[in-house]
Amino acid sequence: MEGVLELPPNVVLRAEDLSVVYKMPRGIARVVDRVTIDFRVGRVTAIVGESGSGKTMMASALMKLVPYPGKIEGRILFRSDLLGGVVDILKLSPKELRIIRWREIAMVFQGAQNSFNPTIKIKDHFLDTARAHGLDEKIALEKACKLLELVKLDPERVLESYPHQLSGGMKQRTLIALSLLLDPKVLILDEPTSALDLISQKVLIDLLKDIHERYHMTMIFITHDLPLIAGLAHYVAVMYAFKVVEFGPIDKIIRNPRHPYTVGLLKAIPPLRGELRFVKPIPGSHPDPVNPPPGCRFWPRCPLATDVCRKVEPKMVEVEKDHFVACHRWEEVEVSKLWT
């Protein structure tokens, strides 16, 4: 390995120039395209975007779990305690990856219903995980009970149940308990609330908040629902067309968005309270990964697009402390005037 890898003390995981590439008969699809993003220690970062914007792919790439035949390019730097220092996840051997996965970075995949083995009891899911990662079974069961209590489930009942005997919300909470079994320091959650109803959604969000307050874990939360994570996230990365177009603290993203896409996203959500305006979705559709538009990818749908936007790809600039945006005309973005 050339030189010693370094990360600033407040960053635990960093993706540098990360791309996920699929070669297909009709062309090369870059489903994540040169994304650079930092995940801060002990903070909750939400990745928000439309379906098909590459957010799940990016999260999978962080654990080197991209489905075949996808190729990952770039670097993923991670501060690992078990491997002693900062490592590049993409260069690790399968054995080293095995050490990191679940024990240091755990992921809760989309669709809890399908993440369980329907033929074994919940208890055996916990034991399986413990065995695979060298944790004593007795300790594992004790811990499982504690974690299940933490997610407001009755351990005695749940451990002896088969997955089909639990409701969707209960399965999702069990899955979160399972992902915490080995005390990971980074938890990646991929749309954990999709297919859950309102109350179970909120229960889950409140739980994650409790867990975060208790363990100060770094969380990466992937969702298409920005209001959902408003009370939970500290940072938001907005993805559009396989790139991060805006990144910053949630207060700044919601109160002072600088990318026209973010503004459109915020304005497309009907408000729960207050005055009811006519809400309009962003016109047009999301680009194809094989042949994205040149220049800024958002220009075909953007009301501010000029010639520069059509030709030159905008770079990420820091518009205020910690707040980054990739737009040529960010200075002219006025929330009240756009998308009316």
Partner 1 sequence: MDVNEVPLLEVRDLKVHFVIKKRIGGVKGVVRAVDGVSLKIRKGDVIALVGESGCGKTTLGKAIAGLVKPTEGTILWKGRDVWKMYREDPKGFFEYKLRVQYMPQDPYSAFNPSKTVFEILCTPLLKWKRVTSRAECIDYVLKILSDIKVTPPEEYIFRYPHQLSGGERQRILFALITSVEPDVVVADEPITAVDVALRVDLMNLMLEYWERRRVAYVFISHELASARYITEKTGGKIGVMYLGKFVEFGPPRAVIENPLHPYTQALVDAAPELDLEIARKKRLRLREVDIPSATNPPKGCRFHTRCPYAMDICTEKEPPLIEVENGRYVRCWLYAKR
Backbone dihedral region for residue 216 (phi beyond 0: left; psi -120 to 50: alpha; all else: beta):
left
- How many CA atoms within 13 Å lie on the side-chain side of 71? 9
CB of 340 to partner 1, least distance (A): 14
- Give the three-class secondary structure for 234: coil
115 or 200, CB closer to partner 1? 200
Please enumerate in sequence order all residues whose Cβ is within 8 A of that of 43, keeping only pairs 6 or more positions apart, or say none.
Answer: 218, 219, 234, 235
Q: How many angstroms separate the CA atoms of 334 and 340, rounded? A: 11
183 or 206, CB closer to partner 1? 206
CB of 87 to partner 1, least distance (A): 35
CB of 104 to partner 1, least distance (A): 29
62 or 204, CB closer to partner 1? 204
135 or 266, CB closer to partner 1? 266
CB of 278 to partner 1, least distance (A): 8
> For residues 115 and 168, is the Cβ–Cβ distance under 8 A?
no
Both tokens of residue 233?
Answer: 């996230």
68 or 278, CB closer to partner 1? 278
Q: How many angstroms separate the CA atoms of 288 and 84, rounded? A: 41
Neighbours of 70 (CB within 10 A): 18
Main-chain phi, psi angles of 199, to 5 degrees: -70, -45
Both tokens of residue 257?
Answer: 């968005």
**From edge to edge, which strands make up the β-sheet containing 71-80?**
27-40, 11-24, 71-80, 85-88
Kindly list the residues in this chain that would bind partner 1 in the complex (CB under 8 A): 50-51, 152, 167-170, 197-203, 206, 224-228, 230-231, 250-251, 254-255, 264-266, 268-273, 276, 279-282, 285
- Give the three-class secondary structure for 45: strand
CB of 268 to partner 1, least distance (A): 4
34 or 202, CB closer to partner 1? 202
55 or 103, CB closer to partner 1? 55
CB of 86 to partner 1, least distance (A): 33
CB of 129 to partner 1, least distance (A): 24
